[in-house]
Amino acid sequence: MSTLGRTLELYFIDGRPDGMLTAEVFNWTGHVLRIPRTLLKEGLARDHARFTGVYVLIGEVDGAPMAYVGEAEDMRDRIRQHSASKEWWDSVVLITTSADSLHKAHVKYLESRLVEIARSVNVGALENGNTPPRSSLNEASIANMESFLESLLMVLPAIRVDHFDQKRRPASVAAPQSAPTAQFTMILPRHGITATARLEEGEMVVEAGSHARASWIGKNQERDGYFKDHANLLASGVIVRDGEFGIFTEDYAFSSPSAAAAVVSGRPANGRTSWLLTDTRQTYAEWELAQLAETTP
């Protein structure tokens, strides 16, 4: 994934953050339209809905996230069919280009790659029964589609589509000249739980081998925002049960220190005080204040 800055333009069509929106990136041909099911009539009346593209149905089944990835030469007709045959979804994301320049082989390739990525990320279930085969494209077209996909994978999390957001982190070997990374430790001594993490590109990466609770102990699962994260990591094998503990099998990135602390402790937790800098034992909050003080002229 490119490390260069990009400009993402979100347009809230009806002026509401939970309503219809379009997403485009400067110098990218792609066009993304998110339509709540309650606004399906209005959304499908828009020109881009009849273009050739890939779409993602998003919803929940029994409280667990569900998605379905498909492709069509006229997405409007296909989504109408799904509206009649599938009850569980509550929004759809239509992915195409501003000039309707994708053809059937392009979208079949993108459909296959998105299903592959969603299965790898494993944020929630996919209704797709199998991973569709990639279409036959020449080398140049494959490179173009992978470049298109790179930008798309930046856009989707920004519009709250997390099914393709890879939080697993491969084990990395730091280059000698690389900047030092802040290392943190979280200990629950009464329960024998120790976890280590590093701050990396604005995310809290809990490292492989760290302990976590094997079960969620928060009292209000419906209100505990990180309960589903804990359950999904167990279901996907990122955390495996080992006796009374859970153990991280690989590095995993969380959006905040509190998200990481909650999954480790199995209940809501303040990550700003739970994580301690490994060498100085400062809390994350104290370390952050010290970092900010260094930037003060």
162-186 pLDDT, tens per residue? 889 888 776 654 444 445 589 999 9
- Is residue 164 exposed (0-12), middle (13-18) or buried (19+ Cβ within 10 Å)? buried
- % of the chain beyond a pLDDT of 70: 92
Residue 1 pLDDT exceeds 50: no
- What is the DSSP pairing of strand 239-242 with strand 89-97? unpaired
**Least reliable range by pLDDT among 96-110, 144-158, 173-187, 189-203:** 173-187
HSE, side-chain direction, 13 A CA sphere, residue 196:
10
Query: Is 156:93 a contact under the CB 8 Å cutoff?
Result: yes
Residue that is written with structure tokens 């930008």 in the block = 151
Helix and strand numbers, DSSP H then E, in the chain: 8, 16
SS3 for 224? coil
Kindly state the average pLDDT of the residues 81-104: 95
Kindly state the average pLDDT of the residues 195-218: 92
Kindly state the average pLDDT of the residues 244-267: 93
pTM of the full structure: 0.73
Averaged confidence pLDDT in the chain:
89
HSE, side-chain direction, 13 A CA sphere, residue 101:
11
Residue 125 pLDDT exceeds 90: no
Measure CA 279 to chain center.
31
